[in-house]
Amino acid sequence: MPLSKEEIAKRIAKEIKDGYYVNLGIGIPTLVANYIPKNINVVLQSENGLLGMGPFPFEGEEDADLINAGKQTITTLPGSSIFDSAMSFGMIRAQKVDLTILGAMEVSENGDIANWKIPGKMVKGMGGAMDLVASAKNIIVAMQHVNKAGESKLLSKCTLPLTGVKCIKKIVTEIAVLAVLPEGGFQLLERAPGVSIEFIQQSTAGKLIVEGEIPEMNFD
């Protein structure tokens, strides 16, 4: 069965290593904070000016003054630091962030990403997405494999305005984990439990590379 948004976040949390500084984008990526293993030390960065972001607060324990870049209430951990957005983007542009986890509307087979604007629809602005994809050492996309019409969002070429070019390394969707190869193409690494390779092929408009046995995702 396809993964829930929470299960996508839980699978992505396995990509986080001890000592990482990690930026979580709006949407599914914010859920990753709830699934970081207890035995590793990770510092979460929010581009509106916070190092040391914790999991979401329980209902009734929210502090309206503590929000992430998506304006959701959050918690802070012991030793956290709050500062202005200029310093925050200084960290991002100086490549101090080890891993960025972003949502996307489209990703192309050569690693281009479109995640900020749909023509004709009002948007508040680019936000920090362009700085993040231009500066991060490693970028993982958390996204739905297909749109509401059932059309693939993993394409040979993006049709929406680009956020970044040739910058995406890995994608986790509700049906698959894929790597974007340097020479182009989506390499299938894992599949969601019960999801067939044929179904993933049908759901992927871009070049899909399948080699050997493809294991099901493991969440342990």
Residue with token string 């044929």: 198
- Of the candidates 6, 7, 15, 47, the residue annotated as catalytic is 47
**Helix (H), strand (E) at residue 11:** helix 5-13
User: Has 198 been annotated as catalytic?
Assistant: no
Planar angle of CA 62, 143, 28, nearest 5 degrees: 10
At 12, is the secondary structure helix, strand, or coil? helix
Write the DSSP symbol of residue 150: S
CB 50 within 8 A of CB 80: yes
CA distances from 86 to 3, 27, 83, 90, 109 (A): 37, 23, 8, 6, 33
Residue 50, both tokens: 């916070």
* CA 49 remoteness from chain centre: 19
CB 143 within 8 A of CB 152: no
Q: How far is CA 92 from CA 73, 107, 117, 131, 199, in A?
A: 22, 22, 22, 7, 38
What amino acid positions are annotated as catalytic residues? Answer: 47
